[in-house]
Chain A
Amino acid sequence: MQHNTLNYDKDIENLIFRLVSHLNSDYAFSKRSVATMLLQEDEEIWELVKQNDGSNYNEIRAMINEFKKNTSESVLYQISRTQQEESKKILQKVMTVDKNSGSKLAKIVNKLTINPITGIPLLLLVLYYGFYQFVGVFGAGTMVDFIETNIFDEMINPYINQFVNGLIPWKVVSDLFVNDYGIITLGIKYAIAIVLPVVGCFFLMFSIIEDSGYLPRISMLMDRVFKKIGLNGRAVIPMTLGFGCDTMATMVSRTLETKRERVISTFLLALAIPCSAQLGVILALLSGKPMAMAVWLVFMVLIFMLIGYLTSKVIPGEKAGFYMELPPLRMPKLSNVLKKTYVRMYWYFKEVLPLFILASVLIWVGNITGLFEVLVRYTVPVVNMIGLPDKTAEIFLFGFFRRDFGAAGLFDMQSSGVLNGRQLVVAAATLTLFVPCVAQFTMMIKERGWKTALAMCAFIFPFAFAAGYLLNKVLVLWGINLG
C-alpha cells in the first residue's frame, strides 16, 4: 500500500540496483535505502555493511568510487535534490497558502527580539528581572531567609536536636543525625532551606523562557560572543542551564555538534559556571557588599572568557558553524511550565539529595576517625596562601563533596563575622572555580569519559587556588578591602 515515490536519476537508479544485489544481509532499512545512504557517504552505514556484508565490501566501494569518478555533480546533492523535488511536486498537488494571513503583531514582536538594538536591552531586562530579581533576590534572599531562619533554625532544628540528643545518649552517634554537621540539621537543612528555593525559582524562570521560544533568540544574539571561546550560539542552552545545575547542563551539552564543543563546554561548566545552589549562597553572601559582588562578578567573567579563549586555542578539532531555527514565539503554557519545573526539580533532588546525605555521612566519618582533621591540617597552608583564615580549610573540604555545600559553609562563617570583604570574595571566587560537585563529576565521566574528566579536574584543582592567590594578591596590592 505504501508508495515509494523516490525515483532518482537513471544512472543512480542503475547503481542502486547493482548495489542492492550486493547487499545480502538483513538491515533495518530496505536495501534500496541502505544503498542510497552508502552513496551519501554515511560512515555508520558503511561500518554496518562492513560488518554484515564484509565479503562484498570492497566491491561495493569500488562500484561507488567508479561512479563518483564519472559524475561531476555530487551524488549526495543529486539524491537530496530528488527528495526535495519530489516533495515539492507532491505539495503542489495538496497544499494551498493564503498569503494574506498571519498576525502583524507577532511579526513586530519577533523583530524586536532579534534586532540587536532592541534585542540586547530586552535580553538584559529578562536577565535582570528573571534571574537577578526573581532567582537572586527573591529566591536566594527572601525565601532562603524565611525557610532557614524561621523554619529550620527556630522551629525544626532545636526541637530535633533536643529530641535526638535525648534519644541517643552517645554524642558520636547523635552527631551523625543532628548538631553541627548532622544529616538532618545540615544535609537536609541545606537541601530544603537553600537549594530548594533557589533551584525551584531558577527552573521556573528557565521553563517560562524556554516555553516562550525565546532561548533560540538568545543563542542568535550571543553567537559572536560564544565564538570567541570556541563555542557557538548553540551552547547558550547548556551554559545557561548550568546556572541551574551544572550536572544537568553537562548532560545537555550532548546536543552540541562537535566533540570539541562538547569538551569545551563541559570544561567551562566545571570550572566557571556556578550552579544555582552555589550562586544562591554567593549572592546572599555578597549581597550586602555591592563592591565585593562586582569584583566577584568581573573576576568570574574574566576567567570564563580567558580560559574559554585559551581552551579554544589549545583544543584541536573542527569549529562548528552556527545555524539555528528560530521557532515562533508562543505564549508559555502554565501547565507545561509547572510540569517542566516539577520534573526538573524532581530529577535534581533524586540526583542531589542522596549526595547531601552522603556528604554528611562522610564528614561524620571523617570527623570521628580524625581523617578530616588531618585533611584540614593539610589544607590550612593552602587557604592561608590565598589569604584566608584556617577555618576556611574545612569549607573547601566540604566544597569537595558539594560545591554549594562549601558555599553554604562560607555563609555561616560570614554570619559569625570571621571573614572580611576581601577574604569573602577570594573564598567565593576560589570556591566557584573549585572542583565540580560529585554529581557533576560523575556526569563528566559518563559523558566525556574517564580520561577527559580526570584531566579537567587535574587542571581545575590547582588552577582554582592559583586564581584565588592572584586575586588576593591583586586586592591586597591595591589595598582593596571591600568592607
Chain B
Amino acid sequence: MEQKSKNISVNIPLTMLKAGQEAKIVTVKTEDNQKLRKLAAFGIFPGTEIQVIQCYPSIVIQAGFTQIALDSEIASEIIVNLNN
C-alpha cells in the first residue's frame, strides 16, 4: 500500500519487535531459496502485514488469519517495516 510515511519508517528485523506491535514485511534476508519458499508458503512475503503475538520461547506472529511460530534465527532474517 501507500508508503507516505517513508521518512519516519524504519526497517528492522522481526526479532526487534515487541508483543502487540504491527509491521509490514519488507524482505526476507537469506540466500537460501528453500527457506524463501517455505516462508512464502506460510504467507510470509514482502507486503504481508503481521502482528507479533509473543516473543518467547518462540516468536509467534499473526499473518492474516494464520498464527505462525518461528524460531529467532528465522525471525531475524525477516525484515519488517514499522509504519509509525
Residue positions of A touching B, CB distance < 8 A: 40-41, 74, 76-77, 80-81, 84, 110-111, 114-116, 216, 219-221, 223-224, 227, 232-233, 321-326
Contact = CB atoms under 8 A, between A and B. Distances in A.
B66 A322 contact: no
A376 B36 CA distance: 57
Given A74-B33, A114-B53, A224-B57, A322 B70 contact: yes
Nearest to B66: A325
A435 B81 CA distance: 53
Contacts of B47: 84
- Is the contact region of chain B dominated by helix, strand, or loop, or is it mixed? mixed
B10 interface: no
A325 B36 contact: no
Given A40-B33, A41-B33, A80-B45, A322 B67 contact: no
8 contacts: A40-B33, A115-B54, A219-B69, A221-B57, A227-B71, A321-B70, A322-B74, A323-B68
B57 A223 contact: yes
Contact of B57 (A40, A220, A323, A324): A220
Nearest to A120: B57
Contacts of B45: 80-81, 84
Given A321-B74, A325-B67, A326-B69, 19 more contacts: A40-B33, A40-B37, A41-B33, A74-B36, A80-B37, A80-B40, A110-B67, A114-B53, A115-B54, A116-B57, A219-B69, A220-B69, A221-B58, A223-B57, A321-B35, A322-B58, A323-B70, A323-B74, A325-B68
Given A77-B36, A116-B57, A221-B57, A321 B68 contact: no
Contacts of B37: 40, 76, 80
Contacts, number: 76
Interface of B: 33, 35-40, 42, 45-47, 53-54, 56-58, 60, 66-71, 73-74
Contact of A326 (B33, B57, B60): B60
B41 to A, nearest CB: 9
A97 to B, nearest CB: 9
A80 to B, nearest CB: 5
A321 B71 contact: yes
A224 B35 CA distance: 20
A323 B56 contact: no
